[in-house]
Chain A
Amino acid sequence: MTETAGTGRAFVFGDDIDTDLLAPGHLMKLSAEDLAQHCLEAIAPDFAKSVQPGDFVVAGKNFGLGSSREQAAISLRLLGVGAVIAPSFARIFYRNALNLGLPALFCEEAYRIAEGDQLMVDPVLGKITNKTRGETLSCKPIPDHLMAMVRAGGLIAHLKSRRGT
């Protein structure tokens, strides 16, 4: 395992989790912190309250479809989600997630993970260890140089740290 590995619980969702579920349009005027408290509430009312820093969101295909709104990824990151693990992602969400410091991991076998499973996830090695089930799944690795940006908190934070501002 590399230094980017993290451990946490799995919160499991289905296919086609859209940006209106992640960041409801009618609440977009709220501050990012307040908006995050409503993340996924339409399908999981207790999610924002129960997710802990380092926990993982595991989902079905086409995660993040819909709007280009970055608040979808920002909300997950503000709630401390360590990574989103899914077989496929909507294109704009995927770019947004990495740009905002949220690892998004392509994993064909994400369906093997159940609610509450304890996971250890290493984005650089592309390895997901399910401690609850005693099995290891592979995901598409995120190259080290891209993870440096993700770890810094996203593209802008990365640029600022490199400029020393």
Chain B
Amino acid sequence: MGEQTTDKGMREASRRRFLQAGTALVGGSAVAGLGGAAALAESGSNLPPNVPEWMKAPGDPMGSQPYGTPSVYEKGIVKNISKTLPQYISASGRTPLQELDGIITPNGLFYERHHGGVPTIDPAQHRLMLHGMVDRPLVFSMDDIRRFPSQSRIHFIECSGNPVYTKPYGKTASDLVGLVSCAEWTGVPLKTVLNEAGLQQGARWIVAEGADAAALTRSIPIEKCLDDAMLVYSQNGERLRPQQGYPLRLLLPGFEGNMNVKWLRRLKVVAEPAYSREETSKYTDLMPDGTSREFTFYMEAKSIITRPSGGQKLAEPGFHEITGLAWSGRGKIARVEVSVDDGKTWQDAQLQEPVLTRALTRFRFPWHWDGKPAVVQSRAVDETGYVQPTLAELLAVRGPNHFYHNNAIWPWRIDANGEVTNGQA
């Protein structure tokens, strides 16, 4: 009887651990996959003072995974993709921000947005054409692009609709603002490549086009092209993933995601924008008077607490580190403030180095939870002095028909049981 009770207790503890880690969905399948080992783990025989099972026999041999994948116990940490989208050709999938640490998004979890599916492009048959108002129209192979002097930089990319302004608001940090990710990008500065072709007088914009089924087209102001824009072929050390534009994408640090054109095949230097569908019909925002804002390039300063955040649970009162991410399309994060009393008072959070321009910045705030209901939230200030606004402040200016560029402060509500839910819901 005693042993059975212990087993039951261990199973219960194990179940709770899965729930706390937010991997309840996967717990079952991971355990099922492990068979006997899991059963032993649950019996406690792998815990002190016993020697765990995985020390008593050799592990998987070299080569079991030619391309490594996360532990079977982490199978639930995947992109957050709605199961009820009307279609999946023009759609988005979110980064599970609340499951990640640091500032670099693993390539497999980088958020996705595509407008005509993900093409499978043979790099040997991919070309970049540079034409329009240039002295020498040029065609580059991928080998050509990689011959240019290279550069690596860490930047975020964020979808402009992250999140929308209207209810229902998401339950988790990923539901809300999972359309942002950050990586180290390697490629060639766009200005270096433009210099090969020679810009002509009157060049003001560059129209970028993707080699996907949407032939997605956006116009980029020439100032950005001659500043920090890059042609990128690698992400976090390896070649771009197909979902991120393999073999070549545009990177426009701080600009809304869709302008960072993936599967880049053409750059046309022009005097005025293309007024493409994606910069007129889409990615424009209605104001209360019926006019619409166009060419809203920059992603303004934003932050989100990722732990504790919606869907998680504080197991018990006591010490809890509050941590999250802050970023600004206009430069570096200067400060992040955290409030644990529903916005009455704010205190500076610690910023984890490195604090990079137009990159995710990790912040931390030590907190002792007294077990009473609380509302926690963060507020970012960037190096321009801009302060992240509240949702009410945004709505008061932009009205309810605005769709993109919501950078509101987002509160999380913690109840007496430690359950965390969306404070705006």
Query: Do A and B bind?
Result: no
Please give the residue numbers on chain B whose beta carbons come within 8 Å of chain A beta carbons, in ascending order. Answer: none
